[in-house]
Amino acid sequence: SEGTAATADTYYALYPYDAEAVVAEGVITTTLPAEQTGVKGSFTTHLAVASTTGTALSFSNVCGLVKVNVASDNVTKIEFKGNSGEAVAGSVSVPVSAEPAWTSVTAATSVSMVPAAGATFEQGDYYFAILPQTFAAGFKVTAYKGENASVIRNVATEFTLERADIIGGKAFGIE
């Protein structure tokens, strides 16, 4: 909305909007979903926070993105999981600062992506929003055709996903 606001107050913002989010003492508690909807060429969830005492908000990304290229038909679900059971989604608290970091309130150790429309993914690029961190033993991406699972990427060495970073994946097919 438009209008004048008192400039002495501090204002906080969260993207995307979450009616259940709580703000207390410069910390926003919200949820990064453990089930995300895949949108070809884009993402549906990517936390960003901002605060201001003036009239302009400058958002800072909280998550990192993991790109997966689907090059096979009939894929019904894709899953991302740290090899050491790291928290990758769930309820998080994020201090609003120039370099926002997160702390887990309740954790999910995997993130699944389902198609936005229909029962299967179209071929193309899709993005997971993941809590940034170092994955001590790497991570695994698994694709499903119905109940049949196939590991499409297993990075078995330490890997760091930075805030506001995007890591890419190779195209995959499932036998």
d(CA 87, CA 31): 12
- Which pTM does this prediction carry? 0.85
Q: Which two tokens stand for residue 148?
A: 């049949």
Query: How does pLDDT run across 79-128, given as a tens digit for each residue?
Result: 999 999 999 999 999 988 777 788 878 889 999 999 987 899 999 999 99
pLDDT at 174: 46
Amino acid identity at 132:
P
154-173 tens-digit pLDDT: 889 999 999 887 877 655 45
Which pLDDT score, from 0 to 100, does residue 175 have? 39
Q: Mean pLDDT across the chain, nearest whole number?
A: 86
The pLDDT value recorded for residue 3 is 59
From the list 96, 81, 99, the residue with the least C-alpha distance to 138 is 81
Q: Which long-range contacts (CB under 8 A, 24 or more apart) does 148-153 make?
A: 148/174, 150/174, 150/175, 152/68
- The C-alpha atoms of residue 150 and residue 144 are separated, in whole angstroms, by 6
As a whole number of angstroms, the distance between CA 80 and CA 160 comes to: 14
